[in-house]
Structure 1
Amino acid sequence: MSLVVYPGSERFRTREDGRDTRHSFSFGRHYHPANLGFGRLIALNDDRLAPHAGYPDHGHSDIEIVTWVVQGALHHTDADGTAILGPGSVLAQSAGDGIRHAELAGDGPTRFVQTWLRPDSPGGAPSRAHVRAPELGEGLVRVVGQGGLPVGVRGAELRAGTLPEGAALELPDGYRHHLLVAGGGLTLPDGSAALADGDALRASGGCGPLHATASSLLLVWTLPPDTKEPGTGTAGAT
């Protein structure tokens, strides 16, 4: 088992045009050959937007895009219309052989975390689906994967939501796990360190129990162990 903590203070950072983005992996002008991704995860961007700022119309292809809104309201517009995503909402979009979309904050400050995954198969018809916060229920809820929103990576699952103070989280053996703390905090199983807002944990194999030191917002990806590491960095808008 391998367990590595990535402090939020060490993430790459981009600040421009009303956007303040922290990148968990190499992205755009930020490049490090030892940090290109984790399994099929090739981008994980934590965006803070000023009112009405964001990403005007732009294109993607051959990428799976999963967006989780932490604060405010994100207006996501593409060929299927506009979805207004409030706190806790999740949107999964397969770019397939090509999409164009825009992602802009509403009338207040907005924070969202967006993950890109390399799909099992390139091309195909684009698709989009989302779930709103009231539908997620309490606690840490599976929102992508079995019983949740579809994503073009077989065996990938995403759980998102709140882990109550004092509750424990275990990550099952036999998988890769990427955990991002977006509020609150966690302690490691051996008590050697604590994770706070913006910190991440990457585990190859199981891990647990992690204990919430406060009511904690978490984004937890679980990936099958046989997914290949990406071979190159990824550039572009979120």
Structure 2
Amino acid sequence: MQTILHSANTRGHANHGWLNSYHTFSFAGYQNPERVHFGALRVLNDDTVAGGMGFGTHPHDNMEIISIPLSGTLEHKDNAGNHGIIRRGDVQVMSAGTGIAHSEKNHSHTEPVKFLQIWVFPNKRNVTPRYDQQTFRAEDRHNQFQQILSPDANDAGVWINQDAWFHLTDFDAGFTAEYQVKKPGNGVYVFVLEGEATIAGQPVSTRDGLGIWDTTSFPVAATAATRLLLMEVPMSL
């Protein structure tokens, strides 16, 4: 088993007033040659957008883009005619494929929206662009791994063009579970949304990220009430 720890205070940071963003991997003005990606996981941005503000229409292609709100409401529009509003408990996915232009803004004019923006390299290029969103029940991640994303449209959660599986958890203090890697050769990047845990023998706390690979499973032990996002992705592109 191999691991790499990215402590919360080592992330890139940009505060534009309307946008306060932390970058786990190189993005925009934060460029770190040692932190470009973890396997197929290319971007993990922890964003807070002020009320009434947002990202204007901009293009993407050949990337799988996942948005996970943590609080507040996020509004999406794109040039394919899709329009959605997502909040905590929802997951949005966009396969950019041959190209799509979209905007993301805070649906509220007064309250900030906090969300994770995640990019994953696809295993198929130039697919037809696609948009989807789903709502997930909080009770289904209490002391268990709740699957929110997979490669299979018939499996639980949204799906993307990659052999990736995402899970959310809400673990009580003292709860322990074993994560089983879904596909041989994949690695798992664990992002601590809140709390404290020992994962694969490594103590972690809020907003730390831990990459784990060269293993088929690893233990997760919550030392306090802990919320996690586990992103399993191929390690080779």
TM-score (ref. length: structure 1): 0.87
Alpha-carbon distance change, 158 to 200 in structure 1, aligned in 2, over 3 angstroms: same
Match of 1:142 among 132, 143, 147: 147
Cα deviation for residue 52 of structure 1 reads 1.9
How large is the RMSD of aligned CA atoms in angstroms? 1.9
Q: 1:77-116, aligned counterparts within 5 Å?
A: 77-78=77-78, 79-107=80-108, 108-116=111-119
Match of 2:58, SS state, is strand
Residue 141 of structure 2 is aligned to residue 128 of structure 1? no
- Residue by residue, what CA displacement relative to the aligned partner does 1:9-68 show, whole Å, maximum 9, x if unpaired? 100011114111111111112112121101111111110111122212111111100111
- Counting matched residue pairs gives 224
Q: Could you tell me which residue of structure 1 aligns to residue 198 of structure 2?
A: 187
- Residue by residue, what CA displacement relative to the aligned partner does 1:149-183 show, whole Å, maximum 9, x if unpaired? 11011x21111242233222333354300010111
What amino acid is aligned across from residue 35 of structure 1 in structure 2?
A: R
Q: Percent identity, please.
A: 25
Distance in structure 2 (CA, Å) of the matches to 1:12 and 1:143: 27
Match of 1:152 among 161, 169, 173: 161
Q: 1:11-30, aligned counterparts within 5 Å?
A: 11-30=11-30
Q: 1:198-209, aligned counterparts within 5 Å?
A: 198-206=207-215, 208-209=218-219
Gaps of at least 5 residues in structure 2 are none
What amino acid is aligned across from residue 89 of structure 2 in structure 1?
A: G
What amino acid is aligned across from residue 84 of structure 1 in structure 2?
A: I
Distance in structure 2 (CA, Å) of the matches to 1:152 and 1:19: 29
What amino acid is aligned across from residue 194 of structure 1 in structure 2?
A: P
Greater CA deviation, 128-137 or 155-164? 128-137
Residue 173 of structure 2 is aligned to residue 169 of structure 1? no
| Bigger relative contact order, structure 1 or 2 (CA pairs below 8 A, ≥6 apart) | 1
Cα deviation for residue 82 of structure 1 reads 2.0
Structure 1 contact 165–216 (Cα < 8 Å) conserved: yes
Structure with the largest fraction of strand: 2
Gaps of at least 5 residues in structure 1 are 229-238
Structure 1 contact 177–205 (Cα < 8 Å) conserved: no
Cα deviation for residue 214 of structure 1 reads 2.6
Q: Could you tell me which residue of structure 2 aligns to residue 7 of structure 1?
A: 7
Distance in structure 1 (CA, Å) of the matches to 2:81 and 2:8: 35
Distance in structure 2 (CA, Å) of the matches to 1:109 and 1:213: 30
Structure 1 residue ranges (4+ consecutive) displaced by more than 6 angstroms after TM superposition: none
